[in-house]
Amino acid sequence: MENNVILIGSGAREHAIALALKKSGANIISILDKKNPGIIRLSSKVIFKQSLDTDFSWIKNVKADLAVIGPEKPLSLGYADTLETYGIPVVGPYKKPAQIETSKIFARKLMEQYNIPGNPIFFVCENENEVRHALKELNFEAAIKPDGLTGGKGVKITGDHFQDIEQAVDYAMQLIKKDGAVIIEQKLKGTEFTAQAFTDGREIYIMPLVKDYKRAYDNDQGPNTGSMGAISFPDQQLPYISNETLEKTIDIMKKAVQAVKRETGEPYKGIIYGQFMQTINGPFLIEFNARFGDPEAMNVLSLLKTPFIEVAKQITNKTLKKPSFENKATFCLYVVPEGYPENPVKNQPIMIDHEKISQIKNVTLFYGSVNQQDNQILTTSSRTLAILTTAPTLLEARNTAYEAARYIHGKIRFRKDIGKEFL
- Give tens-digit pLDDT for 231-258: 999 999 999 999 999 999 999 999 999 9
Answer whether residue 1 shows pLDDT above 80: no
What is the DSSP pairing of strand 215-217 with strand 221-224? antiparallel
Asked if residue 214 and residue 202 are part of one domain, the reply reads yes
User: Could you give the count of Cα atoms lying within 13 Å of 255 in the half-sphere of its Cβ?
Assistant: 18
The answer to whether residue 108 sits within a structural domain is: no
pLDDT grade, residue 173 (50/70/90)?
very high
Asked if residue 301 and residue 235 are part of one domain, the reply reads yes
Residue 341: cis peptide before it, omega within 30 degrees of 0:
yes
Q: What is the CATH number of the domain that holds 302?
A: 3.30.470.20
Asked if residue 205 and residue 160 are part of one domain, the reply reads no
Q: What is the CATH number of the domain that holds 84?
A: 3.40.50.20
The answer to whether residue 253 sits within a structural domain is: yes
pLDDT at 159: 84
Total domains in the chain come to 4
Cα diameter, the chain: 62
Last residue of a domain, one of 37, 70, 91: 91
Alpha-carbon gap, residue 134 to 45, rounded angstroms: 51
pLDDT at 152: 64
Last residue of a domain, one of 317, 337, 362: 317
Q: What angle do CA 216, 207, 46 make, to 5 degrees?
A: 70
pLDDT at 60: 87
Asked if residue 173 and residue 211 are part of one domain, the reply reads no
The answer to whether residue 109 sits within a structural domain is: no
The answer to whether residue 98 sits within a structural domain is: no
Asked if residue 362 and residue 395 are part of one domain, the reply reads yes
What's the residue count for the chain? 423
Asked if residue 143 and residue 207 are part of one domain, the reply reads no
Q: What angle do CA 237, 243, 247 make, to 5 degrees?
A: 100
The answer to whether residue 97 sits within a structural domain is: no
Report the pLDDT averaged over residues 286-295: 96
The answer to whether residue 107 sits within a structural domain is: no
Asked if residue 241 and residue 193 are part of one domain, the reply reads yes
Closest to 80 in 3D by CA, of 315, 308, 296: 315
Q: What pTM did the predictor assign?
A: 0.96
The answer to whether residue 71 sits within a structural domain is: yes
Asked if residue 281 and residue 340 are part of one domain, the reply reads no
Q: What is the CATH number of the domain that holds 142?
A: 3.30.1490.20
Asked if residue 289 and residue 194 are part of one domain, the reply reads yes
Asked if residue 222 and residue 162 are part of one domain, the reply reads no
Asked if residue 335 and residue 301 are part of one domain, the reply reads no
Burial class (CB in 10 A: 0-12, 13-18, 19+), 195: buried
Alpha-carbon gap, residue 3 to 97, rounded angstroms: 27
Alpha-carbon gap, residue 391 to 400, rounded angstroms: 9
| Number of neighbouring beta carbons within 10 Å of residue 81 | 16
Asked if residue 295 and residue 204 are part of one domain, the reply reads yes
pLDDT grade, residue 151 (50/70/90)?
low
pLDDT at 302: 98
The answer to whether residue 112 sits within a structural domain is: no
- Give tens-digit pLDDT for 16-57: 999 999 999 999 999 999 899 999 999 999 999 988 888 899
3-state secondary structure 170-218: HHHHHHHHHHCCEEEEECCCCEEEEEEEEECCCCEEECCCEEECCEEEH
Last residue of a domain, one of 263, 290, 317: 317
Residue 294 belongs to domain spanning: 189-317
CB neighbours of 331 closer than 8 A, spacing ≥ 6?
Answer: 229, 231, 388, 389, 390, 391, 394, 397, 398, 400, 401, 418, 419
- Give tens-digit pLDDT for 203-217: 999 999 999 999 999
